[in-house]
């Protein structure tokens, strides 16, 4: 019943597109609206609104601007060649069954190029919480912290973080709680999010999309952006960097064991494997 009332409310505030298991409303911004108010009105997170409306920032909101808002709170993933519901479930740290229910799917067959809706309520069920930091993305560990031959300059240089390769559009989650101190273009880092808590700074670089804004408080596990190939990068991956009191440290020292980046937790069907 609550869902029906919400649907009618949405109809009165703009047009609504209905898909299997979810619908999207096109909200028209009114005088006095803030991003926070709009998100609260529709029971979605600000991160969700920014993910659906990638050019939006709190300061660029203007009257009559149209904003896409999903119901329930959730995000889309575009299926790539080679993806299965199983790999997509892993990218969102959730289960195959959750994805099937959310998308009204009766089979496991999905087409490249189609969209899978992932409710925020399902995201993160499989986050590995063995350490104080979460693995921010599901992918392949592709470059360690420390001295290496730079893949672009081919010169010996110090790699200030670790790299995790994943397809463009793979969600990136906040590894820990904190305040967003930077969200935007940062030369070689490309599109980057920087999150600070006390003397700890965490950087997420080479993103294709950012879904947080400077000054925002984020909890661990919030969707902060999507994997990309921006800045000095040779392919889609996340550069994950951690600084203690301004000095970089090896992120592997504060993350759950490396072998568990693929594994997550084997507690639920559809999750697991190394
Ligand atoms: Zn890197």
**98 part of a folded domain:** no
Task: Point out the least confidently predicted range of 15-29, 86-100, 146-160, 255-269.
Answer: 255-269
**94 part of a folded domain:** no
How much distance in Å is there from the Cα of 135 to the middle of ligand 1?
15
Q: Who contacts 244 (Cβ-Cβ below 8 Å, separation ≥6)? A: 199, 200
Same domain, 51 and 149: no
Same domain, 162 and 249: yes
Mean pLDDT score across all residues of the chain: 87
pLDDT at 158 over 50: yes
pLDDT at 272 over 50: no
CATH number, domain containing residue 178: 2.70.70.10
Half-sphere exposure of 204 (CA within 13 A, CB side): 32
Residue 101, SS3 per DSSP? helix
Same domain, 162 and 67: no
Closest CA to 153 of 60, 212, 91, 234: 234
The pLDDT tens digits of the residues spanning 113-126 come to 999 999 999 999 88
Same domain, 50 and 148: no
Confidence of residue 239 (pLDDT cuts 50, 70, 90): very high
**231 part of a folded domain:** yes
How much distance in Å is there from the Cα of 145 to the middle of ligand 1?
8
Domain count, the chain: 2
**112 part of a folded domain:** no
How much distance in Å is there from the Cα of 38 to the middle of ligand 1?
36
CATH number, domain containing residue 13: 3.10.350.10
How much distance in Å is there from the Cα of 158 to the middle of ligand 1?
10
**209 part of a folded domain:** yes
How much distance in Å is there from the Cα of 142 to the middle of ligand 1?
9
Q: What is the pLDDT of residue 260?
A: 60
How much distance in Å is there from the Cα of 5 to the middle of ligand 1?
48
How much distance in Å is there from the Cα of 171 to the middle of ligand 1?
17
Same domain, 160 and 249: yes
**By residue range, what is the domain housing residue 214?**
140-255
Q: Identify which has the larger pLDDT, 273 or 177.
A: 177
Neighbour-count burial for 5-28, b at 16+ CB within 10 Å, e otherwise: ebeeebeebeeeeeeebbbbbebe
pLDDT at 80 over 70: yes
Task: Point out the least confidently predicted range of 44-48, 148-152, 185-189.
Answer: 148-152
The pTM of the full predicted model, rounded to 2 decimals, is: 0.88
Q: What is the pLDDT of residue 232?
A: 86
**230 part of a folded domain:** yes
pLDDT at 264 over 50: no
**Three-state DSSP string of 224-256:** EEEEECCCCCCCCEEEEEEEECCEEECHHHCCC
Confidence of residue 68 (pLDDT cuts 50, 70, 90): very high
How much distance in Å is there from the Cα of 255 to the middle of ligand 1?
16
**115 part of a folded domain:** no
Cβ of 228: how many Cβ atoms within 10 Å?
Answer: 23
Same domain, 159 and 237: yes
Neighbour-count burial for 70-91, b at 16+ CB within 10 Å, e otherwise: bbbbbbbbebeeebebebbbbb
Q: What is the pLDDT of residue 71?
A: 93
Q: What is the pLDDT of residue 24?
A: 92
| Burial label, 110 (beta-carbon count in 10 A; 0-12, 13-18, 19+) | middle
What is the percent of the chain where pLDDT is above 90? Answer: 71
**263 part of a folded domain:** no
Same domain, 147 and 65: no
Same domain, 247 and 144: yes
Same domain, 242 and 145: yes
Cβ of 1: how many Cβ atoms within 10 Å?
Answer: 5
The pLDDT tens digits of the residues spanning 184-210 come to 999 899 999 999 999 999 999 999 999
């Amino acid at each position: 019943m609550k869902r029906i009332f919400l649907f009618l409310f949405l109809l009165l505030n703009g047009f609504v597109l209905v898909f299997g298991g979810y619908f999207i409303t096109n909200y028209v911004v009114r005088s006095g609206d803030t991003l926070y108010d709009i998100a609260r009105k529709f029971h979605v997170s600000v991160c969700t609104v920014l993910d659906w409306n990638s050019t939006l920032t709190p300061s660029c909101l203007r009257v009559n601007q149209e904003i896409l808002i999903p119901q329930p709170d959730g995000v889309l993933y575009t299926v790539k060649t080679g993806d299965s519901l199983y790999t997509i479930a892993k990218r969102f740290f959730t289960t195959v069954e959750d994805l099937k229910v959310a998308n009204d799917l009766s089979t496991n067959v999905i087409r490249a190029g189609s969209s899978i809706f992932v409710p925020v309520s399902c995201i993160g069920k499989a986050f590995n919480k063995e350490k104080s930091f979460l693995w921010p993305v599901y992918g392949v560990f592709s470059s360690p912290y420390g001295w290496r031959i730079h893949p672009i300059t081919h010169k010996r240089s110090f790699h200030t973080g670790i790299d995790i390769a994943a397809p463009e559009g793979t969600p990136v989650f906040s590894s820990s709680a904190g305040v967003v101190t930077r969200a935007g273009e940062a030369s070689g880092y490309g599109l980057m999010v920087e999150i600070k808590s006390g003397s700890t700074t965490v950087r997420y670089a080479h993103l294709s999309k950012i879904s947080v804004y400077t000054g925002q408080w984020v909890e661990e596990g919030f969707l902060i952006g999507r994997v990309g190939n921006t800045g000095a990068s040779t392919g889609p991956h996340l550069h994950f960097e951690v600084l203690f009191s301004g000095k970089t440290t090896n992120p592997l020292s504060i993350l759950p064991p490396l072998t568990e980046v693929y594994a997550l937790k084997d507690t639920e069907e559809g999750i697991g494997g190394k």
